[in-house]
């Protein structure tokens, strides 16, 4: 309704502009533009506003810029919420806060492409279990953000671990789990106040054991891996037909041969899938086994969509060449393995092997504890790769934590690396950040200092923890 | 590659015939902060025979050049499912818990231990030499008797059967016992009373039993060593008030030896725990209010406990995703890092190493391992760097003096898939 009204206003503005243009030449009254009904593009827009940022210059640090570059004894200036300058020497404006980081390290903020913070918040009581709409194998109509509890204490812990953006996904009980959304670990009173502005939505999909177990146990489709694929293909076929109906209607409406009441009914499940088919929504696909990833790739070709990233992907190392050829990222743990059958072949060299094949490697958490130490996971992966004979530099490994996940979330043009013009999402580390002894000292998000290990006033406490045992204690 | 070579070298040498000397290494003994630079450690017949700075090497000894390496005791996992669970999610391979069993305290995990479990090989390569294989509780707060195992090949896997009894308290104990904490404590009181009755008059046990109490003879028997203190009682409790209740056990059952597991809010009552002389096994990474019994979770917990004088071990306990014994050194390193945070309470490097070696040995009653001392078992790990660092790894591991293989199913998979190019035959054929 609201969007139709907006549409009406937009038409009026266009009409007025057209009028003004034509006035100069020929005063022929133009026909009113046709009324075209469209689904609203962004009905839950971000209401995030960066907090005040002070111009800051950090000097003397070793910098991993997140794009694969290292600067020793580097300098960086954060200004107006963005990276203003980076290099061996940068301008220090009058009034700037200057931090001598000699012997310390500066990196691009860490981005976790796979989190359930907010949808499975702490405390993990049943009343907070909001991550799996396990009432049908396909629930693409649900949006993770509508389950997010903005007061999850986990956001504060993630921030203290150097996280500057995170992607919150529904769980993997369903083949189609719903939409994922990208947030900043900046507390808001509503989820909209935490949303990364302009970040595309994702569709969480899952293959393998989880969907077939959940629904097979209820004696319904899918109970097998072939059932998984069959169910998903039928839905992609339905989505294709749905998109065709809308495209057809839109064409006719734009040509003035369809009335608003001819517009197809919006079906929210298929609307999400339609968004995938048109490339606006990115597919984040939970999948462990190599052979299943290959099946999913064939399915995506059949229906003309693209998988942006396979998540968990413990067997990506078996098809790293295929993943490179397809341009699909793998979002992986460093060393989780063996806890279920489809994780049986997990190896610690997975990330390094994917990287070595030239495919896109991402370190993810899928865990409220792991998200606090993704740098440590990357360290283990880098070490395993080196022992296998690959020369992996720390500055290269940092791309697994920042620019690669940023690209995998469609925000790589705005964050993920310390390049002039990008958001000032920055972490200052107490030591080399792949060392177990390193901890974030300060974390900036859009140039605002949101965490400072030495200043209790720069360390958030979630509502839930207020007045509870342990409040005020360093976590 | 380097480690594989080293192993090949070691494997070629008969294990028992002659003493072995590791020379030129930096030796961390896990006794206090003792570090021996340019140290020599000699072992023979599975036991450490000498340790010190630049010791003379006996004639005929196999010499391992430890220059640039760091030597530590083997890592000990104070709580694990090593050897008793292969694939957690595949029920028939997982002997940790037995929800449908009629028995509880009597369940003896040593009967499930599989020395050929692939997790044993993987953990051994990472420097883990001994572990407690503990049960999960099923339908009774008493879960059964954990086994102490060796991760070595070629020697006995079982170090000690029926070493500890495991028990759930707090939210989990309450749920298992019927829905509340008082129900859990009533179950405990009943089971221990039945155990005492059995001990006093075994022949009369089957008569006069409260027919509603339903304690099986085997379970009552199994609790006898808990009551007389021969067996430690591992109690999972997280909330500070639950911990305080556990500390009261000693007043009612004077010989009982409780050990706290989890203990996320232990720091709130650290002085009481220290006064009671009760050790704590916990994780260094608990810092979220995961439930209402862990509201005060903080990574400062271990530091506070250590400062209060509690014996603390870091173990791969649940509640932190992906936790495995392999990562124990990293968990210990994180406890050191915690001390660097303003307001943080952590461990020194020596304390952190002890928390995964000497302290678990002490808590588990493994008196002949856990530190590098003359007479102790030659459970040794030679590292390519700071053992607590994430990027370090063992280059060699000895258990009872036997050099251990440094390969696992994982390393074989990595080798198979390192090159993906198509050749004359599929990857599944030997190359």
> Per this entry, what is the length of chain A?
475
Q: Tell me which residue in B320, B333, B390 faces A383 most closely, judged by beta carbons.
A: B390
- What gap in Å lies between CA B34 and CA B353, rounded to an integer? 11
Count of Cβ atoms closer than 10 Å to residue B202 Cβ: 12
Q: Say yes or no for a CB contact (<8 Å) between B337 and A438.
A: yes
Q: Say yes or no for a CB contact (<8 Å) between B413 and A372.
A: no
Say if A122 is an interface residue toward chain B (CB within 8 Å): yes
Contacts of A333 in chain B (CB under 8 A): 322
Say if A126 is an interface residue toward chain B (CB within 8 Å): no
Count of Cβ atoms closer than 10 Å to residue B23 Cβ: 18
User: Which of A313, A345, A390, A469 should be substituted to probe chain B, the one whose Cβ sees the most B Cβ atoms within 10 Å?
Assistant: A469
Beta strands in B54-191 (DSSP E): 62-65, 70-73, 75-80, 128-133, 142-150, 158-168
Whether A387 contacts A340, CB under 8 Å: no
Q: DSSP state, A266?
A: P
Say if A463 is an interface residue toward chain B (CB within 8 Å): no
The pLDDT of residue B211 is: 58
- What gap in Å lies between CA B71 and CA B396, rounded to an integer? 10
User: Which of A105, A118, A347 should be substituted to probe chain B, the one whose Cβ sees the most B Cβ atoms within 10 Å?
Assistant: A347
The alpha carbon torsion through B417, B420, B421, B425 (nearest 10 deg) reads 50
**Contact partners, residue B175, CB within 8 Å, separation at least 6:** none
- What gap in Å lies between CA B191 and CA A174, rounded to an integer? 44
H or E, element range at A451? strand A448-452
- What gap in Å lies between CA B27 and CA B40, rounded to an integer? 8
The pLDDT of residue A38 is: 96
Which residue matches tokens 């006035």? A23
The pLDDT of residue B421 is: 81
The pLDDT of residue B5 is: 42
- CA dihedral sign of residues A131, A135, A139, A141: negative
- What gap in Å lies between CA A205 and CA A207, rounded to an integer? 7
**Contact partners, residue A420, CB within 8 Å, separation at least 6:** A82, A83, A84, A85, A86
Give the chain B residue nearest A334 (alpha carbons).
B322
Contacts of A371 in chain B (CB under 8 A): none
CA A356 to chain centre: 24
The pLDDT of residue B14 is: 41
The pLDDT of residue B13 is: 42
Whether A319 contacts A295, CB under 8 Å: no
Angstrom CA distances, A212 to A208, A269, A284, A328, stand at: 7, 20, 19, 24
Q: Say yes or no for a CB contact (<8 Å) between B321 and A454.
A: no
HSE, side-chain direction, 13 A CA sphere, residue B119: 29
CA distance B86 to chain A (A): 7
The pLDDT of residue A305 is: 98
The pLDDT of residue A379 is: 98
- CA dihedral sign of residues B50, B53, B55, B60: positive
Contacts of A157 in chain B (CB under 8 A): 287-288
Domain locations along chain A: 56-101, 107-464
- What gap in Å lies between CA A331 and CA A316, rounded to an integer? 9
Contacts of A430 in chain B (CB under 8 A): 340
Contacts of A217 in chain B (CB under 8 A): none
Helical ranges in A179-334 per DSSP H: 209-216, 225-254, 268-277, 290-303, 320-326
The pLDDT of residue A3 is: 44
The series of mean pLDDT values per 10 residues for chain A, 475 residues long, is: 41 44 64 90 97 98 98 98 97 98 98 98 98 98 98 98 99 98 98 98 98 98 98 98 98 97 98 98 98 98 98 98 98 97 98 98 98 98 98 98 98 98 98 98 98 97 96 95
Among left, alpha and beta (phi > 0; psi -120 to 50; other), residue B71 is: beta
Cα-atom radius of gyration of chain B, to the nearest Å? Answer: 23
Strand-pair partners of B168: B236
Whether A329 contacts A400, CB under 8 Å: no
Asked if A56-101 and A107-464 have one fold, the answer is: no
Which residue matches tokens 């740098």? A375
SS3 A112: strand
Contacts of B292 in chain A (CB under 8 A): 123, 125
Q: DSSP state, A197?
A: T
Its CATH architecture, for the domain A107-464, is: Alpha-Beta Barrel (3.20)
The pLDDT of residue B214 is: 75
Give the chain B residue nearest A209 (alpha carbons).
B89
Q: Which long-range contacts (CB under 8 A, 24 or more apart) does B2-8 make?
A: B2/B384, B2/B395, B3/A387, B3/B384, B3/B393, B3/B394, B3/B395, B3/B396, B3/B406, B4/B406, B4/B407, B6/B395, B6/B396, B6/B406, B7/B396, B7/B403, B7/B404, B7/B405, B7/B406, B7/B407
Q: How big is the A-B interface in CB pairs under 8 Å?
A: 167
Task: Return the CATH fold of A56-101.
Answer: Urease, subunit C; domain 1 (2.30.40)
Say if A345 is an interface residue toward chain B (CB within 8 Å): yes
Q: Say yes or no for a CB contact (<8 Å) between B295 and A382.
A: no
The candidate with the shortest Cα–Cα distance to B272, out of B294, B241, B233, is B241
The pLDDT of residue B208 is: 63
Complex confidence, ipTM: 0.95
The pLDDT of residue B17 is: 65
Give the chain B residue nearest A339 (alpha carbons).
B88
CA distance A331 to chain B (A): 15
Q: Tell me which residue in B86, B345, B420 faces A321 most closely, judged by beta carbons.
A: B420
The pLDDT of residue A8 is: 40
Low-confidence ranges of chain B (pLDDT < 50): 1-15
Helical ranges in A168-208 per DSSP H: none
Among left, alpha and beta (phi > 0; psi -120 to 50; other), residue B179 is: left
Q: Tell me which residue in A319, A321, A376 faces B330 most closely, judged by beta carbons.
A: A376
Whether A404 contacts A354, CB under 8 Å: no
Q: Say yes or no for a CB contact (<8 Å) between B390 and A379.
A: yes
The candidate with the shortest Cα–Cα distance to A371, out of A127, A66, A118, A63, is A118
Angstrom CA distances, B280 to A195, A438, B63, B233, B303, stand at: 42, 26, 39, 12, 12
CA A231 to chain centre: 26
Whether A30 contacts A18, CB under 8 Å: yes
How do strand A70-79 and strand A105-108 relate by DSSP bridges?
unpaired
The pLDDT of residue B210 is: 58
Domains and CATH numbers, chain B: 2-73+378-408 (2.30.40.10), 75-364 (3.20.20.140)
For A358-413, the pLDDT digits (tens) are 999 999 999 999 999 999 999 999 999 999 999 999 999 999 999 999 999 999 99
């Amino acid at each position: 309704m609201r969007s139709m009204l907006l549409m009406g206003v937009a038409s009026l503005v266009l009409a007025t502009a057209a009028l003004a243009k034509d006035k100069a030449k020929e005063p022929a009254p133009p026909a009113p533009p046709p009324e075209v009904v469209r689904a609203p593009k962004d009905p839950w827009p971000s209401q995030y506003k960066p907090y005040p940022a002070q111009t800051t210059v950090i000097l003397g640090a070793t910098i991993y810029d997140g794009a694969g570059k290292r600067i020793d004894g580097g300098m960086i200036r954060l200004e107006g919420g963005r990276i203003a300058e980076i290099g061996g020497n940068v301008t220090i404006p009058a009034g700037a806060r200057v931090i001598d980081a000699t012997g310390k390290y500066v990196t691009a903020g860490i981005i976790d492409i796979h989190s359930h913070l907010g949808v499975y918040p702490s405390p993990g009581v049943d009343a907070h279990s909001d991550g799996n709409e396990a009432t049908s194998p396909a629930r693409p109509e649900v949006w993770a953000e509508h389950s997010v509890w903005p007061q999850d204490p986990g956001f504060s812990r993630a921030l203290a671990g150097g996280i500057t953006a995170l992607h919150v996904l529904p769980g993997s009980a369903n083949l189609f789990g719903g939409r994922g959304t990208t947030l900043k670990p900046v507390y808001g009173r509503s989820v909209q106040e935490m949303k990364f502005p302009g970040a595309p939505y994702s569709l969480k999909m899952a293959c393998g054991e989880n969907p077939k177990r959940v629904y097979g146990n209820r004696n319904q489709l899918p109970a097998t891996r072939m059932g998984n694929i069959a169910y998903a293909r039928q839905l992609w076929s339905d989505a294709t037909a749905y998109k065709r109906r809308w495209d057809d209607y839109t064409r006719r409406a734009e040509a003035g041969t369809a009335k608003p009441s001819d517009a197809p009914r919006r079906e929210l499940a298929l609307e999400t899938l339609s968004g995938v088919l048109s490339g606006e929504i990115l597919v984040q696909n939970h999948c462990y086994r190599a052979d299943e990833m290959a099946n999913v790739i064939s399915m995506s070709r059949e229906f003309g969509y693209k998988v942006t990233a396979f998540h968990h992907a413990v067997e990506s190392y078996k098809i790293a060449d295929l993943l490179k050829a397809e341009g699909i990222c793998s979002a992986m743990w460093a060393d989780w393995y063996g806890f279920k059958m489809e994780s049986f072949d997990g190896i610690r060299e997975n990330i390094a092997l994917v990287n070595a094949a030239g495919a896109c490697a991402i370190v993810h958490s899928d865990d409220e504890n792991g998200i606090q130490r993704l740098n440590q996971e990357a360290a283990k992966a880098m070490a395993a790769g080196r022992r296998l004979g690959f020369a992996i530099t720390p500055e290269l490994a940092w791309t697994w934590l920042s620019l690669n996940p940023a690209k995998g979330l469609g925000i790589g043009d705005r964050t993920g690396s310390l390049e002039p013009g990008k958001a000032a999402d920055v972490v200052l580390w107490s030591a080399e950040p792949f060392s177990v002894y390193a901890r974030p000292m300060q974390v900036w998000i859009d140039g605002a200092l949101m965490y400072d290990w030495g200043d209790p006033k720069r360390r958030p406490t979630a509502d839930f923890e207020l007045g509870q045992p342990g409040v005020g204690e360093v976590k | 590659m380097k480690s594989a070579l080293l192993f090949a070298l070691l494997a070629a040498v008969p294990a028992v015939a002659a003493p072995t000397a590791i020379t030129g290494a930096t030796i961390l003994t896990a006794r206090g902060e003792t570090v021996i630079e340019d140290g020599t450690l000699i072992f023979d017949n599975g036991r450490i025979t000498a340790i010190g700075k630049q010791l003379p090497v006996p004639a005929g000894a196999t010499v391992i050049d430890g220059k640039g390496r760091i030597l530590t005791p083997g890592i000990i996992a104070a709580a694990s499912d090593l050897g008793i669970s292969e694939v957690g999610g595949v029920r028939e391979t997982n002997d940790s818990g037995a929800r449908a069993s009629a028995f509880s305290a009597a369940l003896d995990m040593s009967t499930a231990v599989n020395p050929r479990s692939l997790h044993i090989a993987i953990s051994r390569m990472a420097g883990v030499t001994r572990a407690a294989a503990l049960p999960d509780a099923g339908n009774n707060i008493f879960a059964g008797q954990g086994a102490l195992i060796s991760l070595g090949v070629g020697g006995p896997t079982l170090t000690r059967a029926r070493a500890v009894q495991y028990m759930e308290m707090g939210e989990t104990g309450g749920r298992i016992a019927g829905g509340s904490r008082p129900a859990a404590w009533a179950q405990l009181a009943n089971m221990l009373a039945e155990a005492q009755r059995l001990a006093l008059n075994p022949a009369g046990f089957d008569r006069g039993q409260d027919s509603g109490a339903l304690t099986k003879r085997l379970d009552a028997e199994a609790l006898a060593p808990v009551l007389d203190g021969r067996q430690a009682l591992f109690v999972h409790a997280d909330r500070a008030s639950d911990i305080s209740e556990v500390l009261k056990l000693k007043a009612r059952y004077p010989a009982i030896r409780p050990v706290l597991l989890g203990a996320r809010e232990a720091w709130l009552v650290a002085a009481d725990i220290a006064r009671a002389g009760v050790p704590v096994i916990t994780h260094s990474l608990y810092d979220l209010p995961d439930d209402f019994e862990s509201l005060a979770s903080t990574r400062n917990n271990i530091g506070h406990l250590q400062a209060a004088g509690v014996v603390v071990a870091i173990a791969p306990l649940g509640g932190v995703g992906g936790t495995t014994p392999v990562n124990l050194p990293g968990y210990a390193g994180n406890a050191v890092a915690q001390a660097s945070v303003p307001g943080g309470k952590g461990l020194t490097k020596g304390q952190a190493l002890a928390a995964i070696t000497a302290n678990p040995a002490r808590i588990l009653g493994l008196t002949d391992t856990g530190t590098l001392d003359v007479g102790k078992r030659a459970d040794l790990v030679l590292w390519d760097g700071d053992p607590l660092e994430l990027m370090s790894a063992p280059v060699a591991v000895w258990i009872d003096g036997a050099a251990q293989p440094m390969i696992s199913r994982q390393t074989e998979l990595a080798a198979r898939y390192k090159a993906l190019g198509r050749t004359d035959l599929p990857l599944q054929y030997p190359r």
